[in-house]
Homo-oligomer: A and B are copies of this chain.
Amino acid sequence: MIQELKNNYGHLFENDLLTEINQVGTFKEVPEGFKMINIGEYVKSMPLLISGAIKILREDNDGDELLLYFLEKGDTCAMTLTCCLGQTKSEIKAIVETDAKLIMIPIQKMEEWSAKYKSWRNFVFESYHNRLNEMLDTIDSIAFLKMDERLLKYLNEKARVSEDGIIKNTHQEIAYELHTSRVVISRLLKKLENLGEIKLHRNYITLVK
């Protein structure tokens, strides 16, 4: 496992820190669809992503959900960071989007490493920075874009994190993640297909370009 750690985080962390991570971290493989954490749950460890993707969702009291962003290789979960420190409940739901490999770090190490390693502090700050920017991007989408633009942006992101570039979702699933209805999505998808932007199939969609 030290190899995958080195490959993905070797350029970020000094050797002492890599050794420590190797000692206390546990390697995990999680399959697509696995629910990493739900809203209201407490966090007990912090993930470093090696491969695959994790989608982060927000949910309101009625169970309506909204896709916030994806975590990918080299990312960690900023929400986890804040939850660890404050010992507060998770504000988001995290589900594995494509089969993922990750290293789980016990949360006690966070504070210790923040004092000890400059590279760790930078990583944590960098992570917060990325997450804040992704949240801003999400806000831009829902505040400033119309549904067809949001949908196209969504499809591009989905394709990006999926390795083979194919969006393997039903219209209903897309509707949930964009917080709208299936009929609206079907309608707009058909429009995008007529514009030559995408190709529709049963259970999957491909981008044309």
Chain A residues packing against B (C-beta within 8 Å): 58, 60, 62, 64, 66, 68, 78-79, 81-82, 85-86, 91-92, 111, 114-115, 118, 121-122, 124-126, 128-129, 131-133, 135-136, 138-140, 142-144, 179
Contacts and interface: CB of A to CB of B under 8 A. Distances in A.
Contacts of A131: 132
Given A58-B139, A60-B140, A144-B60, A132 B129 contact: no
Report copies per complex: 2
A139 B140 contact: no
A143 B62 CA distance: 13
Given A60-B143, A132-B132, 5 more contacts: A60-B144, A91-B133, A92-B136, A115-B115, A143-B179
B179 A128 contact: no
Contact of A143 (B58, B79, B122): B58
Main secondary structure of the interface of A (DSSP, over half): helix
Nearest to A140: B60
A135 B128 CA distance: 13
A177 to B, nearest CB: 11
Nearest to A83: B129
A132 B58 contact: no
A85 B125 contact: yes
Contacts of A135: 132, 135-136, 139
Contact of A142 (B78, B124, B142): B142
A57 to B, nearest CB: 11
A131 B133 CA distance: 12
